[in-house]
Amino acid sequence: MGIRGRIALAISCMTALAVVVLGFAVHHIADAERERSARAYQDDRLSSALQIYERDGTLALGAQLDDGALPSPLRDAVFKRRSGTYVSGGEDPRVWAATGVSDGGGSTPTRSLSVSAPYPDDDPAQLALDRALLIAGCGTVVLMAVVSWFVSQRLSRRLRLSAAAARRIAAGAAPDADALASHGRDEVAELGRSVHHMAMSLAAQAQAEREFTADVAHELRTPVAGLVAAAELLPQPRAVELVRDRAQAMRRLVEDLLEVSRLDAGVERADLDACELPSLVRGIVRRAARQRGVDEVSVTVEGEPWIVETDRRRVERVLVNLLANAAKHGRPPIEVVVAGARIVVRDHGPGYPAELCAEGPRRFRTAAPERGTGHGLGLTIAAGQAQVLGARLDFGTAAEGGAEAVLELPERAGRVCATDPGGG
Q: Where are the domains of the chain?
A: 3-127, 202-265, 273-416
Work out the number of other CB atoms within 10 angstroms of the CB of residue 121.
9
Contact 309, 272 (CB under 8 A): yes
Domain 273-416: give its CATH architecture: 2-Layer Sandwich (3.30)
What pLDDT, on a 0 to 100 scale, did the predictor assign at position 423?
42
| Angle, vertex CA 141, rays to CA 140 and CA 143, nearest 5 | 65
**In the chain, which residues have pLDDT < 50?**
367-372, 374, 420-424
What pLDDT, on a 0 to 100 scale, did the predictor assign at position 345?
92
Contact 371, 350 (CB under 8 A): yes
What pLDDT, on a 0 to 100 scale, did the predictor assign at position 368?
47
DSSP category for residue 369: G
What pLDDT, on a 0 to 100 scale, did the predictor assign at position 421?
45
Same fold, 202-265 and 273-416: no
Helix (H) or strand (E) holding 392: strand 392-397
What pLDDT, on a 0 to 100 scale, did the predictor assign at position 343?
92
What pLDDT, on a 0 to 100 scale, did the predictor assign at position 406?
92
Which of the following CATH numbers is that of domain 202-265: 3.40.50, 1.10.287, 1.20.1300, 1.10.3470? 1.10.287
Determine the 3-state secondary structure of 69 from DSSP. Answer: coil
Q: What is d(CA 380, CA 213) in angstroms, rounded to the nearest whole number? A: 14
212-235 pLDDT, tens digit per residue, is 666 666 666 666 666 666 666 666
| 370: alpha, beta or left? (left if phi > 0; alpha if psi -120 to 50) | alpha
